[in-house]
Structure 1
Amino acid sequence: MVTMKTRIQRLSVFLSFLMLSLMSLNAYADSFYATVSKNHVVQNEVFQLKITTDEKASSDDIDFSVLQKNFMMGRPNFGHSVTIINGDRSAKSEWTISLAAKRTGIVTIPSFKLNGKMTQSIAIQVTKDSDAPTTNDLVEVQSHLNRTTLYPGESALLKARLIVKADTRRLQNTDIEPPKVNGMELKPASKPNQYQSVQNGMQVTVVDQDFRITAQKPGDFTLTEPKFTGSMIYGNDYDGSTRIVSLETHPKTYQMHVENKPANYHGVWLPTSKLNLSQQWKDGHGNPIQTHTFKTKVGDSISREITLKVAGVSQNQLPDIQINNPDTVRAYSEKPHFETTDNGDVVMTLKQVIIPRQKGNIELPKVSLNWWDVSAKKERTTTIDGMSLQAAASDDQPLPNVAPQPQTPAKVITKTDPGYWPYLTATFALLWMVTLALAIYWKRHGQPNEANAQSPSATKGSPSRSAQALTIEQAIQRRDGIAINKALNAWRHSMVLTAEDEVLLEQEKTQLDAALYARHDGTTTIDGSSLLNFIKHIERKQKKQRGRKQKGSELPPL
């Protein structure tokens, strides 16, 4: 009996010690532990992982990157709190993160370590979700390449389209990788265009963008369409759970071939399948000119607008069109204007304003352009005709230049017998001296207010500018080139200009024409102050000259 009692006492002591040990171990383990909201989930189903410690910690003390291999992760949330109850102070730190398994089977959440303590690993059983949507059910990428065979310098257009078939607000971590190709130049041909549409009765979000691929050297190349990656959150109406679907499209590839440049080609290299060169002539009033011969006048303007439309090239590939106009006209060219049509064709518009400088027949040149037809694989030349101008003199004819009459040299006659002439001369000299003395007396002792009796209009004199100058200024303000030329010719013919003045006037008129016929938005004010100042200077100078002549021709009052 003693033996049995001793054994029972020993067993009781052992069990008590074991219980104390387990209680101590549990107390130690409970200070740092990990829990999950579910340990049996379907693929892509969202559940919560929570890690708790009773010590003070910071948000970056736990490294969650070890979960990226098997789980899609949300952003970790961290919270720290301090509680004081009956003077006992306790702290608590907690991390919460949303997870979704990427694969099926048994997926393990590893243990985490903090200040020498470790959490237990957690096994998650993941089954396949038969109702889960695929990437193609939610996101789709479409593309179309218009050409796969090119020549060096030729371009192809890739039209790419992204279709999102669900609410875009549920997309997360989205990334669109642009198309790529090695050995060729790839640039966006348009900005991304996002809009709403209806596809198969369902509202979708569409993003369109075009890309231009330009060949640089012969060879074979591979083009890859854009790729979309990301994830989408959606809810299960049956069990109320939230799931994350990983999205990744599989991009399509295109095989491209670049031919060798033909060795016998002449001129600027311009490979294209379609080229259109056209022009339009207009008179100074903007009316189209339909004939190849046009009657105009010196100083009147006509415009020539050339349009070049090319398929399959970039703006930089278009040639610089040079027009060699004759010296009998003044030509002002605007900067070329470029635009791209919806089908990718590039359009260049070049405008010239042409003003005849002298009367007669003037032949404006034709324009020719060489290009390589990539469809027929042959060289072609496209030409637009020139125009014959029949320029007549301006309506304002110049005044005839009257040559100065040569002065007849005075003849000297010598007389031996003066006769009565010396006496008669002396008499007239005496009378002249008396008259001059009376005039000086009247001038000094006459009425003092005589000069002030003149009317104000007499003292003001003539206006500072002529009527022609005012007409020129008004025409400049209206940007009316024809009216400017007409008024300026009328003013020129009313003045007596030196050869130097004519050169300076021509320079001022050329600068005004360049500003007048340059491209502007229709509201820009043309600054003609330089020409107006020159006109004002000439009028003042000639007014002073006329005043000196009148003063020199006046006789003293008798």
Structure 2
Amino acid sequence: MKRKMNILSLSKRPTTAFLWATMLIIAGFMPAIASAAQAVATVSKNIVGVNEVFQLTVSVDANVNTNALDLSPLANSFTYGRPSVSTNTAMINGVITRNTEWKVAMATNAIGEFTIPSFRIGSSTTDPIVIQSLKSSKNSSTNSAEPDIKLDTEIDKEQLYVGESLRYRVQIRIGEQIDQAALIAPQGNGLDVVQDGDDRQAETVINGRRYIVITRYYQITANKVGSILLEGAKFKGSVIKGSRGFGSSLSLPVDKQAQNLSLDVKGKPAGYQGLWLPTPELQLEQEWQPQVNSQPQSNSLPQSSEVRVGEPLTRIITLRIKNAAQSSMPNLSLQYPGSVRVYDEKPVYSSNDGFTSMTVKQVIIPREHGQLTLPALSINWWNTTTGQQETSKLDGLSINVLPGDTSNTISMPLVPALSDPRPAENATPTEVKVVTSSGWWPWTTALFATLWLITLMLWLRAKKNAPTAKSATTSAQVPTVANPVEQLIAAVKAGQPLRVQTYYQQWPKQHLNNELISQLEKEVAAMMAATYGKEKGAWDKAALLALLQQVQQAQKNKSHTIKPPALQSLVPPKG
């Protein structure tokens, strides 16, 4: 019995030993578990200059959510960028270690002593860190406190007349990595500021360092008299710092402004005549198409050139004014005679080398033959360099308008003119010749009259012998002439505006109602305006074609419904 109990006690010893071993292992791991998930914060330097970038590193010995670090407490005293987050898991000698780390680029924005507060990550917190911010950091060699950005401006004049413009040049030299850059235009009370052209960008190397240079021009126009303060242009953006050697980068705000300038604006001189145009230089040119063969003469019109009725003559006038805004360009108004039709195209503006240019194109179509004088043009302007009024002129043109050339057009049908009891103003008297000797013409006339009578008697006898024969209309066919409506339709389809207008003016429209004539004239005017007018563009010919086809169909219907004379039914048939 005693022996049996010993056996039982021996069988329980291994279980007890296993329990003790398990407890010892757990106790050995308890310090490791207690020391896990500890957070630590460090900085790359704690004495920095204003806007000098340094790095904050926060690490925790555990795998935690990457959004567990709240950086918002830094906003009160620091500028910081987006953190760079990394996680790491490693096994050394059978021991598994985990780590989560945040790297943040930071900078102070003022002089003084600032504290990076404690960060709480899970159940662990970091210790606060004191940062001393100086005006400049002596132990910094890689980051400059002042961004390498330079802003220069220049104007071509400080004294100008009201309504005159000056050219403002601003140049930015950038040696930093820039984000969200913007250039704000100069401004001032009583000044109109407009950007002149596109930005010009180039690269340059200064003292071994590469820079980007951006140049922009502004056109500034004074609209009131007196001393005006011109506030300089401003540059705003963000400089990217900490991208080299740091786990993250941050954007430091940059705000630079050019120096202010004082402008002296003079008023319009007393006694000036005409539209006020102050400028140091004005250029006025013109071109005729087709080119005229004559040369301009002083104080007179050019020698006569020749064109035909309906042939277009194009006049191109170019006006260039230095230091002038587009809104101040004059309206070139010319009074043309009523014997021509003029189509003005929309003016074209451009800017180059301080000059504002305006090009006006006019299409002139003579409607009557004879001598035609086209008007000259003169513009008064104030020379701001000499302080005197000047006048720039363009010669007119004297041309001889010949009747329209019918060799290149389809002949129009002859239409009998309505009688007019009033004598024509420019009618040429008919020359009357008195014949004193009849000669042999009376005998010839008598011979032909006798033959005609004989032929008539033979024809009547043949008709009496064949009473049932029908009149053959094909024996003497009348030569047909082109239908004016068909000519108009062909010209519209061929896209020939001048020919359409000529045919339309020669086409008799007495048989049309007033509403249809109004619609036709409206479409013809729209065609000419789209081809030669200011709002030049594509013209839809469908409406005019539909109206002409309506007239054509009405003519066909009228010809098919012609009835025989009413007296024909009263004549009894022969038989």
Aligned counterpart, 1:385: 395
Residues 377, 197 of structure 1: CA spacing in aligned structure 2 closer, same or farther, 3 A cutoff?
same
Q: How does 1:77-96 map to 2 (within 5 A)?
A: none
* C-alpha separation in 2, matches of 1:163 and 1:366: 51
Alignment-derived partner of residue 325 in structure 1: 336
Q: In the alignment, is residue 364 of structure 1 matched against residue 374 of structure 2?
A: yes
What does residue range 506-545 of structure 1 map to in structure 2 within 5 Å? 508-518=523-533, 525-539=538-552
Contact 1:373/1:380 (CA < 8 Å) preserved in 2? yes
CA distance in 2 between counterparts of 1:536 and 1:176 reads 61
Question: Aligned equivalents of 2:145 and 2:381: distance in 1?
Answer: 46
State the Cα deviation string for residues 231-254 of structure 1 (Å, max 9, x = none): 2325778x9999988756462333
User: How far off is 1:204 after superposition?
Assistant: 3.7
**Runs of 5+ unmatched residues, structure 2:** 1-35, 88-98, 296-301, 420-463, 471-478
The one-letter amino acid paired with 1:260 is G
Q: 1:107 aligns with which of 109, 113, 122?
A: 113
1:267 Cα offset (Å): 2.7
Q: 2:307 aligns with which of 296, 300, 320?
A: 296
- Structure 2 distance, partners of 1:322, 1:124, is 74
Q: Which moved more, 1:289-298 or 1:228-237?
A: 228-237
Secondary structure (helix, strand or coil) at the match of 1:183 reads coil
Contact 1:155 1:313 in 2 (8 A): yes
8 Å contact 1:192–1:207 — kept in the other structure?
A: no
Q: Which amino acid aligns with 1:209?
A: R
Greater shift, 297-306 or 393-402, is seen at 393-402
User: How far apart in 2 are the matches of 1:136 and 1:278?
Assistant: 53
Say whether the 8 Å CA contact 1:359–1:393 is kept in structure 2.
Answer: yes
Asked if the contact 1:221–1:257 (Cα under 8 Å) also holds between the matched residues in 2, the reply is no
User: In structure 2, what is the Cα distance between the partners aligned to 1:151 and 1:227?
Assistant: 29
Query: How many Å apart are 1:274 and its aligned residue?
Result: 1.6
Query: 2:235 is aligned with what amino acid?
Result: K
Given candidates 234, 241, 258, the residue that maps to 1:233 is 241
1:322 is displaced (CA, Å) by: 1.6
Contact 2:228 2:265 in 1 (8 A): yes
2:325 to 314, 319, 331: 314
Match of 1:162 in 2: 172
Q: Secondary structure at the match of 2:385?
A: coil
Alpha carbons of 1:551 and 1:370: their partners in 2 closer, same or farther (altered >3 Å)? farther
Residue 278 of structure 1 aligns to a residue whose secondary structure is strand
State the alpha-carbon separation in 2 of the partners of residues 554 and 300 from structure 1: 53
Letter paired with 1:182: G
Q: Structure 1 385/364 Cα, relative in aligned 2: closer, same or farther at 3 Å?
A: same
Whole-Å Cα distance in 2 between the matches of residues 471 and 203 of structure 1?
72
Instruction: Show the counterpart of 1:346.
Output: 356
Partner of 1:67: 77
* Alignment deviations for residues 155-174 of structure 1 (CA, whole Å, 9 cap, x no partner): 222222323235xxx435x5
Contact kept in structure 1, 2:77 and 2:114, CA below 8 Å: no
Task: Report the alpha carbon displacement of residue 206 of structure 1 after superposing the two structures with TM.
Answer: 3.5
Q: Distance in 2 between matches of 1:471 and 1:97?
A: 84
In the alignment of these two chains, the number of paired residues is 452
Shift of 1:302: 1.4
CA distance in 2, matches of 1:550, 1:294: 56
Report whether the alignment pairs 1:151 with 2:161: yes
Normalising by structure 1, what TM-score? 0.64
Contact 2:44 2:54 in 1 (8 A): no
SS in 2 for 1:109: strand
Which position in structure 1 is the counterpart of 2:439? none
1:94-152 superposed Cα distances (whole Å, 9 cap, x missing partner): 98643234578x7331545989x997642235642463565888333233322222222
User: 1:224 deviation in Å?
Assistant: 0.9
Give me the whole-angstrom Cα distance separating, in 2, the residues matched to 1:267 and 1:385.
Answer: 19
For 2:554 and 2:250, locate their aligned partners in 1 and report how far apart those are by CA, in whole Å: 92
Which residues of structure 1 form unaligned runs of 5+? 1-29, 81-91, 405-434, 444-461
Distance 1:517 1:244 in 2: 57
After superposition, what is the alpha-carbon deviation per residue over 1:83-102, rounded to whole angstroms, capped at 9, x for unaligned? Answer: xxxxxxxxx99986432345
For 1:37 and 1:98, how far apart are their aligned partners in 2? 10
Give the superposed CA RMSD: 5.1
Q: What residue is the counterpart of 2:43 in the other structure?
A: 37
Change (3 A) 1:527 1:242: closer
Identity of aligned residues (%): 21
Comparing 391-400 and 147-156, the one that deviates more: 391-400
Aligned residue number for residue 288 of structure 2: 281
Moved more, 543-552 or 308-317: 543-552
TM-score normalized with structure 2 length? 0.62
2:83 and 2:248 in contact (8 A); partners too: no
Q: Deviation at 1:216?
A: 1.9
Q: 1:49 to 1:235 in 2, by over 3 A?
A: closer
- Deviation for aligned residue 1:48: 0.4
Select the residue among 172, 175, 178 that pairs with 1:171. 178
How do 1:399-478 residues align onto structure 2 when only pairs under 5 Å count?
A: 399=414, 401=416, 466=482, 469=485, 472-478=488-494
- Per the alignment, residue 27 of structure 1 pairs with none
Which moves more between the two structures, 213-222 or 497-506?
A: 497-506
Q: Which residue of 2 aligns with 1:335?
A: 346
**Cα shift readout 1:350-386 (whole Å, capped 9, x = no counterpart):** 2222222222222222222222222222222222222
